[in-house]
Structure 1
């Protein structure tokens, strides 16, 4: 069923441990059980800087780890030819922006090769390809739940604040330095802080 080929198949840890359950208050974006579509009804894509003349490589594939399915980004990021990124991304709605203003941030259950990655958000205001709102995290060799509060997302090459009522796309990105990308995500979604 699942493809266990590639470097991410050999990452340590077989199944996400207890305690990695999704937050009680939130909205699931994807748990990768449906190979064709996310829980939002949209499909994941893989893209690299080759779309703008770079030479980085990017691959996307699915694995099964214990009782969970996961989506993996793998590739080699190169700064040659003004490049420097590999990513997997997902439109958050098929027919216009998604309103996430009732939520506090994005959570994900991830594992990887210990490198730093970014989660990028695009809104209706990010009209140029290089514009986004970015928050970083460091991948871990074992499955780990990461919370990225919306307050931590910094605008990149755009002077407007993040408009949570107009989200269009999210991307998991290896960017900005020469690196091997190996990142798998088993679940992700929006969460609400509880008092």
Structure 2
């Protein structure tokens, strides 16, 4: 996007290895929780000169599987993240040329398979992508995304079998910058 944007709230810049900037810890999740056989990991490391969270592994569609994910709970001290003043999410991402997704979950996503997804194409160098909330498509849920009740965010390799390698070095809410 060519419009000037500014960060309105940092979610994580990966400068702290034990927890995200908002105080929670990233977690690795795969389809093995439902019988799949995808394997991988999510860990903090340096990627192309930046502190980052690396999600890597092998995605398999066998046994009704098909994903690996790094997820972060956005609920802090019992409060959901109210992102209603923001326009979307800015993410600095570096990958292997494949497409990945950023998933959002809200208080409305009651089932584990429900989310709001935005696909991100990656390149082998760092790029900052601005993902407006309107670009997050409801997945197995009918309610529209309500950014006032964000509960979880995830970086996910899903649906495409084979090796996966993607990293994020910064993730934040953004709004319209001043001209």
Bin for the TM-score computed over the shorter chain: over 0.9
**Is 2:36–2:63's contact at 8 Å kept on the other side of the alignment?**
yes
> Residues 115 and 67 of structure 1: is their aligned pair in 2 closer, same or farther, counting only changes over 3 Å?
closer
Q: Deviations over 1:85-132 (max 9, x none)?
A: 000000012323110000001011111100100000000010100000
Q: SS in structure 2 opposite 1:173?
A: strand
> Residues 66 and 180 of structure 1: is their aligned pair in 2 closer, same or farther, counting only changes over 3 Å?
closer
User: How many correspondences in the alignment?
Assistant: 173
1:66 Cα deviation (Å)? 6.4
**Is 1:40–1:93's contact at 8 Å kept on the other side of the alignment?**
no
Which of residues 145, 149, 154 is equivalent to 2:132?
A: 149
**Is 1:41–1:93's contact at 8 Å kept on the other side of the alignment?**
no
Q: Deviations over 1:22-66 (max 9, x none)?
A: x53421110101111111111000010000000001201222246
Q: SS in structure 2 opposite 1:169?
A: strand
TM-score when normalising by structure 1: 0.85
Greater share of residues in strand: 2
Is 1:125 aligned to residue 108 of structure 2?
yes
RMSD value over aligned CA atoms?
Answer: 1.3
Q: SS in structure 2 opposite 1:50?
A: helix
Counterparts of 1:60 and 1:66, CA distance in 2: 16
What's the counterpart of residue 16 of structure 1? none
Off by >6 Å, runs of 4+ in structure 1: none
1:181 Cα deviation (Å)? 1.0
Q: Deviations over 1:123-167 (max 9, x none)?
A: 001010000001001111011111111010110110111111110
Counterparts of 1:88 and 1:188, CA distance in 2: 13
What's the counterpart of residue 169 of structure 2? 186
